[in-house]
Amino acid sequence: MNCLRRGVTVKRKNISYYVVSMLLAVFLVACNGAKDTKNAETTTGEQEVSGEMIQSEDSSEGFKENDDNDDSASDKQDSTGQSSTTEETKEQPTEEETFSQPEIELIMVGDVLLHDRLEACAKQEDGSYRYEALFAPMKDEIQAADLAIVNQEVLIGGEELGITGYPCFNAPFTLGDALVDAGFDVVCHATNHTMDKQKRGLLSCINFWKTSYPDIAVLGMNETQEERDEIYIYEQEGIKVAILNYTYGTNGIKLPSDMPFAVNLLDEEKVVADIKKAEELADFTIVCPHWGTEYVLKQTKEQERWAKIFFDNGVDLVIGTHPHVIEPVEMMYDVTTGHKMLVYYSLGNFVNWSGESRDGVANRFLGGMAKVTISLDEGGNPMIADYGVIATVTHIENKTNGVYTTRLSEYTQELSLTSEVIKQDDVFSKEYLEGVADKVWGDLWE
């Protein structure tokens, strides 16, 4: 796995320029007795290491904000009590210090998967369903991102269709309320469960988003052919980002005969056409595929095949879902063209509580929050300036509002031993999940 965690170039100063400047200054002082010297300006350059551009900072720092210092002249009083300003000699900012490229901080989380047990914990005393507790510990991080994406695994068709878990899922509209409250901007709805409640459920879900939250981008399901053909573009600071969402299938449930465009499927011809259109309209293209094999901690050959299709057609970032467990992160790189594409094969579950009891169930409660910084290089070309993954864990207590997802790093070993999951898979613990994260992600996760 070749993971370049920094994409910006190294800045280095021109030493020869300094030498000439210093010699000139000495010569002038010796000849003319001059007391003032001028500050030498610096030039910038790029350093290439093993064909990859790196940043001079320690890459382990990750997502660090720059501190802006305001160095103003100091105000003092003279002997008359009047205020006077003393000019302090300040080093003039270099081109490197003043140059700032626009950035987009993006996060995406994996499957929001609501089985019957989880729905029971979301049901309040008055009979209503509330889901804010699920996302509360991660809410600040979600809201802090410029662009927050979630894979909404199950249909949000409303209570009239019945609140159901596996195998045909349906959630109440209040789940959508909670997603918006948590801070998500884009909802990926192309999953194998999109058609669980047939055409009626699909249209109910689409109508909910259009009428309740028209500003939220809902991808992967469509009411019309025009919607299917539209490419969603997010724009910030002059950077245009296209986001595409597809699923491998709909569990054998056919699309409505009068709505063959209802769900975005991984059809190669259509996908390639969409990518080409996205590449024309945007600076940076993201694909969110629902793919792979459930409960396998490694990508499949089919995922790799699709990744190559995306890569060959210019996609910059792929963030996958569906396996319900985490999978590796890989940077694909073409040494000839210099094109790079970052792939998160699976983020696992963000929210989950299935009822099975067997080996491997513990893995389903470990998820990942992809965190990517998109920027432009000095030539105005799109790039991934930084990336990583935040490990998450879903904690389970069998009571109202007893299920929530938090950072694995903030989860305690003691708390993990109180989780209901231990009854389903006795290896579950913070230490166990950290071991899985290390195995799959290496030192990439935090």
Asked whether the bond before 167 is cis by omega within 30 degrees of 0, the reply is yes
pLDDT at 355: 85
* Beta-sheet pairing, 48-49 with 52-53: antiparallel
pLDDT at 378: 85
Domain 103-441 top-level CATH class? alpha beta
* Beta-sheet pairing, 103-112 with 147-151: parallel
Residue boundaries of the structural domains of the chain: 1-55, 103-441
pLDDT at 92: 55
SS3 of 113-172: the string is CCCHHHHHHHECCCCCECCHHHHHHHHHHHHHCCEEEEECCCCCCCHHHCCECCCCCECC
Q: What is the mean pLDDT of residues 121-141?
A: 98
pLDDT at 379: 87
CB neighbours of residue 159 within 10 Å: 14
pLDDT at 39: 38
- Specify which residues 75 forms β-bridges with: 85
Of residues 181 and 17, the one with the higher pLDDT is 181
Query: Does position 278 have pLDDT exceeding 50, yes or no?
Result: yes
Q: What is the pLDDT of residues 408-428, one digit of tens each?
A: 999 999 999 999 999 999 999
pLDDT at 48: 34
* Beta-sheet pairing, 329-333 with 317-319: unpaired
pLDDT at 60: 33
Is 417 strand, coil or helix?
Answer: coil
Q: What is the mean pLDDT of residues 429-443?
A: 98
Of residues 127 and 50, the one with the higher pLDDT is 127
pLDDT at 348: 98
| Rounded Cα–Cα distance for residues 161 and 198 (Å) | 11
Residue 210 CB partners (closer than 8 Å, separation 6+)? none
Instruction: Please provide the DSSP assignment of 254-303 as one string.
Output: PPPTT-TTSB-B--HHHHHHHHHHHHHH-SEEEEEEE-S-TT-SS--HHH
Chain centroid to Cα 390, Å, comes to 10
pLDDT at 252: 97
Q: What is the mean pLDDT of residues 201-229?
A: 98
pLDDT at 99: 57
Is 248 strand, coil or helix?
Answer: coil
| Rounded Cα–Cα distance for residues 29 and 50 (Å) | 45
Band the pLDDT of 363: cuts 50, 70, 90: very high
Q: What is the mean pLDDT of residues 393-398?
A: 97
